[in-house]
Amino acid sequence: MQKIFVAGKLLEKTEEVLKQMGATFWTGTGKISEEELKKGAKDAEAIICPLSAPITSDVLTASPKLKIVANVGAGFDNIDVQKAQELGIAVTNTPKVSTESTAELSFGLILDVMRRVSEGDRLLRTHPEEFKGWAPTFFLGRELHGKTLGIIGLGQIGQAVAERAFAFGMKILYSGHHPKEVAQKWDARFVSQEELLEKSDIVSVHAAYSDELYHLFQKETFQKMKKTAFLVNASRGKVIDEAALVEALEAKEIAGAALDVFEFEPHVNESLTKFENVVLTPHIGNATVETREQMGDMAVANVKAVLAGDAPIHSVY
> pLDDT, tens digit, for every residue of 163-219?
999 999 999 999 986 777 889 999 999 999 999 999 999 999 999 888 889 999 999
The pLDDT of residue 211: 87
Confidence of residue 259 (pLDDT cuts 50, 70, 90): very high
Average of pLDDT values for 296-306? Answer: 98
Which residue in the list 142, 189, 215, 283 is annotated as catalytic? Answer: 283
The pLDDT of residue 182: 87
pLDDT tens profile 219-234? 999 999 999 999 999 9
The pLDDT of residue 248: 98
Which residue in the list 236, 242, 253, 314 is annotated as catalytic? Answer: 236
The pLDDT of residue 71: 97
The pLDDT of residue 180: 79
Is 178 known to be catalytic? Answer: no
Which residue in the list 195, 198, 265, 293 is annotated as catalytic? Answer: 265
The pLDDT of residue 1: 61
Average of pLDDT values for 237-257? Answer: 98
Is 314 known to be catalytic? Answer: no
pLDDT tens profile 17-47? 999 999 999 999 889 999 999 999 999 999 9
Average of pLDDT values for 277-290? Answer: 97
Domains in the chain, CATH or no CATH each: 4-97+289-307 (3.40.50.720), 99-280 (3.40.50.720)
The pLDDT of residue 74: 87
The pLDDT of residue 121: 98
The pLDDT of residue 315: 97
pLDDT tens profile 72-124? 998 898 999 999 999 999 999 999 999 999 999 999 999 999 999 999 999 99
Over pLDDT 90: what percentage of the chain? Answer: 92
Is 283 known to be catalytic? Answer: yes
The pLDDT of residue 119: 98
Confidence of residue 279 (pLDDT cuts 50, 70, 90): very high
The pLDDT of residue 77: 87
Mean pLDDT, the chain, whole residue set: 96
Residues 177, 154: contact at Cβ < 8 Å? yes
